[in-house]
């Protein structure tokens, strides 16, 4: 069983995919301004990954955090994909197939071996310019080979923690089955549940939350705005939902949730940020953002006092699990 106090994480974190040029290009100055707004808003938990912008997110985040006292923030990154030279790179080529507006001179190479996990950690340290990484996740292993991840990668993470290389370990995924299987097969401290436990939909409540509760594993909830659907008070029917169009059933559910929030005078994004934290196993919510104002607003939403009656009414309408 995991020990919850191996690493205490703040309840609000910043997911740094956007400063890796996710969806649109940011200048170095713009990226710095976003990170500065996060820090000035009181955010002290930062999550990144080699995958984000082929290392750009780690380099930018590391450069920023090097200006801050190391004991004042918690830093997480991910392993599983190594960055190697891309032999197919052509001048002007971009990584837009993965939604990152960066040159595709590097490519992602899966490596779930103990040697690959260790190499990934060392290379992340070099890109970040920061030796101490607090939390190390295995990133999306089901996209490659979940069985191999359970057999080799997770034990490798356990060994890194035992050796004192990192304080805590886990897995980050948007697939509930992979998350639950990982929690049950290894001694994980925290799992990052991306988009599977949100105000709009909670499939992780079926298997991931019970597994975490049983094994003493905490949850970091990510993608809590469901691709932006919950990021504004007035939902838009043409909003992006993961990789396609928003299904009618989810749209109807979203409209009902927004109505209940409006009845209580609670901004929909505030409810989206705070909903996962109503669970006893959720330790933190990590949100992204590509503009300073978004970071400031998210911090305000996270601190907003929300009446218990809102959650009670949402549960009574079957929109969230009953307490």
Reduced 3-state DSSP string for 24-51: CCCCHHHHHHHHHHHHHCCCCEEECCCC
Which of the following is catalytic: 52, 73, 197, 301?
52
* Cα separation, 137 vs 179, whole angstroms: 11
Question: Minimal CA–CA distance to 273: which of 289, 290, 259?
Answer: 289
* Cα separation, 259 vs 268, whole angstroms: 9
Q: Which two tokens stand for residue 249?
A: 């059933």
**Is-catalytic flag, 243?**
no
* Cα separation, 193 vs 198, whole angstroms: 9
The alpha carbon of residue 249 and the mean position of all alpha carbons in its chain are separated, in whole angstroms, by: 25
Q: Which residues are catalytic?
A: 52
């Amino acid at each position: 069983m995991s020990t919850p106090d191996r690493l205490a994480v703040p309840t609000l974190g910043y997911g740094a995919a956007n400063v890796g040029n996710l969806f649109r290009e940011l200048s170095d100055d713009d990226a710095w301004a976003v990170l500065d707004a996060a820090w000035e808003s009181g955010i002290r938990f930062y999550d990144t990954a080699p995958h984000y912008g082929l290392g750009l997110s780690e380099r930018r985040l590391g450069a920023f955090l090097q200006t801050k006292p190391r004991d004042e923030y918690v830093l997480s990154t991910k392993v599983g994909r190594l960055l190697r030279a891309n032999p197919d790179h052509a001048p002007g080529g971009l990584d837009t197939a993965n939604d990152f507006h960066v040159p595709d001179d590097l490519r992602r190479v899966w490596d779930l071996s103990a040697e690959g996990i260790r190499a990934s950690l060392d290379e992340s340290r070099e890109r970040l310019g920061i030796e101490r990484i607090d939390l190390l996740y295995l990133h999306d292993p089901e996209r490659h080979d979940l069985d191999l991840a359970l057999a080799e990668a997770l034990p490798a993470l356990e060994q890194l923690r035992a050796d004192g290389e990192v304080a805590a370990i886990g897995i980050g995924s948007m697939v509930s089955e992979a998350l639950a299987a990982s929690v049950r097969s290894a001694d994980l401290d925290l799992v990052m549940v991306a988009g599977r436990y949100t105000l709009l939909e909670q499939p992780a409540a079926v298997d991931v939350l019970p597994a975490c509760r049983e094994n003493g594993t905490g949850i970091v909830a990510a993608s809590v705005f469901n691709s932006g659907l919950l990021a504004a008070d007035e939902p838009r029917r043409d909003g992006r939902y993961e990789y396609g169009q928003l299904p009618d059933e989810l749209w109807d559910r979203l409209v009902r949730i927004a109505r209940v929030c409006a009845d209580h005078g609670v901004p929909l994004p505030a409810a989206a940020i705070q909903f996962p934290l109503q669970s006893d196993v959720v330790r933190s919510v990590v949100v992204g953002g590509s503009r300073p104002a978004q970071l400031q607003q998210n911090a305000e939403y996270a601190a907003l006092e929300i009446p218990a009656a809102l959650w009670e009414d949402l549960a009574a309408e079957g929109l969230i699990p009953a307490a």
